[in-house]
Amino acid sequence: DGGITQSPKYLFRKEGQNVTLSCEQNLNHDAMYWYRQDPGQGLRLIYYSQIVNDFQKGDIAEGYSVSREKKESFPLTVTSAQKNPTAFYLCASSIGGQANEKLFFGSGTQLSVL
């Protein structure tokens, strides 16, 4: 079945530690996205990538980094510079960058700080 796989489902971070969230898609989509969800805040865009080896900052990129070395993979690293990382992280993809395309979402990773 085609889709987006996020792993792990739950992740814990110690102070000063970097952690990486995995996102893989087998939909052959060019564009991929990372969103952060906090209660009452909706979804806020962290980074997005419209093509391999290229990505753009979203509204809240500080303290995060990404790479897009392969079309199917878009890992997100939460660095120690991100002082409030506890949130639900959602990865998504779309065929490309057209306005009318829907996004396909993974099932999310809940990150908590120990």
Helices (H), the chain: none
How far is C-alpha 49 from the chain's CA centre? 10
Per CB under 8 A, the list member of 21, 24, 25, 33 interacting with other proteins is: 33
Residue number, 62 or 101, with CB nearest to other proteins: 101
Report the amino acid identity of residue 78. Answer: V
Residues touching other proteins, count (CB under 8 A):
26
Per CB under 8 A, the list member of 17, 28, 86, 97 interacting with other proteins is: 97
Regarding 105 and contact with other proteins (CB under 8 A), the answer is: yes
Regarding 76 and contact with other proteins (CB under 8 A), the answer is: no
Regarding 61 and contact with other proteins (CB under 8 A), the answer is: no
Angle at 98 between CA 92 and CA 99, to 5 degrees: 85
Phi and psi, residue 96, nearest 5°? -155, -140
Angstrom distance (rounded) from CA 29 to CA 110 = 24
Whether the Cβ atoms of residue 37 and residue 111 lie closer than 8 Å to each other: no
Residue number, 11 or 80, with CB nearest to other proteins: 11
Residues within the interface to other proteins (CB under 8 A)? 4, 6, 33, 35, 40-45, 48, 50, 58, 90, 92, 97-103, 105-108
